[in-house]
Amino acid sequence: MNKPPLYILAGGNSTRFGGDKARYRWRGRPLLRHVVSQFSTVTGPVVVVAAAADDYRDLELVTIADRRPGLGPLAGLETAARHAGAAPLFVLASCDRLGVRRAWIELLIERLRRNPARLAAAFFHDGPTRRRIRWEPFPAVFRPAVSGLAGELLDRGVRVIARLLDEVGVAVNLPAGWESVVDANRPGDLPGGPG
């Protein structure tokens, strides 16, 4: 069975980070390269969704331009879904999340394959929340047909992937070990500190 393509969102302004977090060198490599490596055994071709095409060519990564730059992750998802075309599924990740395990991606893929009427599978948090489900949208697995709904939501002013997942997502219990995942919003968030 073919491995699904991996799309990594790297089109944000990195305001809190203080610079392009995808290029930030940590443990000798750009952060974006660390993200790619954690998915390499379970996904196929890698495509980065950024503000402009070829933004990360110097890192030897195929990069496509976000169709609606500046509108956040849902716009990046729409771009990825349209680009994925005929692929049965694709994986969506962010450029700043470290510690994702192969088994977690395999679980999301399996859950979506078992639910052919659904367009996405993502993890969720247990516990009280104002929303029906508190989604964890990165990583998540999608069918390319999700592009239509993503576009409709964007046209209505919605910017968050959680709203889309409320409508078409398979909710998968957050896996054991999730507490070790790191979101690099600032250089100091990285394990062992910056650099």
The verdict on residue 61 lying in a domain is yes
For 57, list phi and psi in degrees, rounded to 5.
-60, -35
Does 97 reside within a domain? yes
Residue 126 near residue 157 (C-beta atoms within 8 A): no
Q: What's residue 14's pLDDT?
A: 62
Percent of the residues in the chain that have a pLDDT greater than 90, as a whole number: 78
Is residue 147 assigned to a domain? Answer: yes
pLDDT above 60: residue 58: yes
Q: Which residues of 78-107 are buried (b: 16+ CB within 10 A; e: fewer)?
A: bbbbbbbeebebbbbbbbbbbebbeebbeb
Residues 1-8 have a mean pLDDT of 91
* Buried-exposed string 157-182: b where 16+ CB fall within 10 A, e elsewhere: ebeebbbbbeebbbbbebeeeeeebe
Question: Would you say residue 194 lies in a domain?
Answer: no
Whether 21 contacts 36, CB under 8 Å = no
pTM (2 d.p.) = 0.93
Residue 169's CATH number? 3.90.550.10
Determine the Cα–Cα distance for residues 34 and 31; give it in Å rounded to an integer.
Answer: 5
- Asked if the model's pLDDT at residue 13 lies above 90, the reply is no
Query: Given a cut of 90, is residue 189 above it in pLDDT?
Result: no
Report the distance separating Cα 33 and Cα 117, nearest Å. 34
Residue 195 counted as domain residue: no
* Res. 63: pLDDT tops 70: yes
The residue segments making up the domain with residue 181 are 6-189
Lowest mean pLDDT of 10-14, 41-45, 80-84, name the range: 10-14
Query: What is the average per-residue pLDDT within 10-36?
Result: 83
pLDDT tens, 84-100? Answer: 999 999 999 999 999 99
Is 114 part of any domain?
Answer: yes
Tell me how many domains the chain contains. 1
Q: For residue 24, tell me if it sits in a domain.
A: yes
CA dihedral (154, 159, 161, 166) positive or negative: negative
Where do we find the tokens 């979506």? 112
Tokens of 137: 């949208």
pLDDT tens digits, 107-156: 999 999 999 999 999 999 876 555 568 999 999 999 999 999 999 999 99
- Is residue 160 domain-resident? yes
